[in-house]
Structure 1
């Protein structure tokens, strides 16, 4: 149905009920074919535009997280000892390497610039996980 947006022309019938002779029928059919060609060529870009707008709207409404995670879902972040900026990721089930300590439970940053990432950004830990400077 989309391939034929205009009804077929009946012999002798023109637009707005004007009767056409056989000689004029070709012009009317050519006009219809031109409209059909324009419709078909516009369908692709229109569909892409509509899908793009719909996807953008859904992302806005649904609120998909676009925040960058500090570590993957199978890892947790650790803080470098004696550094305010050193952060690394450790696989779940493993202890941090020497020179790194865990964040306090319940205060682990998950995304860049989240509450705990900002909180611990300027804090320095010692090897036992105690705060030495902030």
Structure 2
């Protein structure tokens, strides 16, 4: 399937498997393994014409989705959801959110979620906790 970058700059897509690709502004065929991540990063599928105004970024908040998955993992109390160091299992987080988040991205959200839980914060919309 063909995708194009939503801006004049190429869009770099990397998977946790180590696979990478570049989506140029003029568009290019990309392998199916990149489709979900490319869309989550804002790539425009080839089936959308230049005249159409895609609404791809509205309502998609990566951070809120990751925080929501972490809160669900906490509520589930399944030991396999967390590593020995207490951090969320990256594979479990990615399975719950439906796209590939990096370890750094998950750790940053986990720092906020755990900080707010330690402070007794309440959950807010999207599963994130209030500061």
TM-score (norm 1): 0.21
TM-score (norm 2): 0.21
Pick the structure with greater CA Rg: 1
